[in-house]
Structure 1
Amino acid sequence: MDDLSHLQKSVLEKYTHLAKSLHSLDNTIKQLNANKHEESPEQVLQQLREIEVKIALAGTLFKGSVYSLVLQKNGLQK
């Protein structure tokens, strides 16, 4: 991994973080599905709202990272 540029390493780190977040989300959804008979619909909705906020945050961070990388690349080419 030493032959990668700083930008490439940064992108890979962002993808790693995103993958970990998606795995965490998958585990949470599996947990919700397994406990669907133990919790009230209101509790499930609350948990889904929390997941929705986390997904939105991850998406925003990812878009910001991509935008930043595009700006950096365009700045380097000028």
Structure 2
Amino acid sequence: MTMINCALIHALPPSDRRVFGRAEAASFVGASVGYFDKLVRAGIMPAPLPLPGVKRWDVRALDRALDGLSGISESQDFDNEWDRLVQ
């Protein structure tokens, strides 16, 4: 009797996941894996989450790091800015 063992690597599409593996995190920030590793070592990109046995990066932490590099801050939230202008 032959048994087939199948497992889903990712049950959700990238847009619905909270964490990415190393290659996905690098792609998310627009860098090669090697360059992403350099950015992490330099503290420019966040370190992976402390999960046993795997390296995963929080998408929100990656977003915050990119926001910091581009000069975007939470105080520049477009919805809040619009609310302020129409009051």
TM-score norm. by structure 2 comes to: 0.27
Q: As a proportion of its length, which structure holds more helix?
A: 1
Q: As a proportion of its length, which structure holds more strand?
A: 2
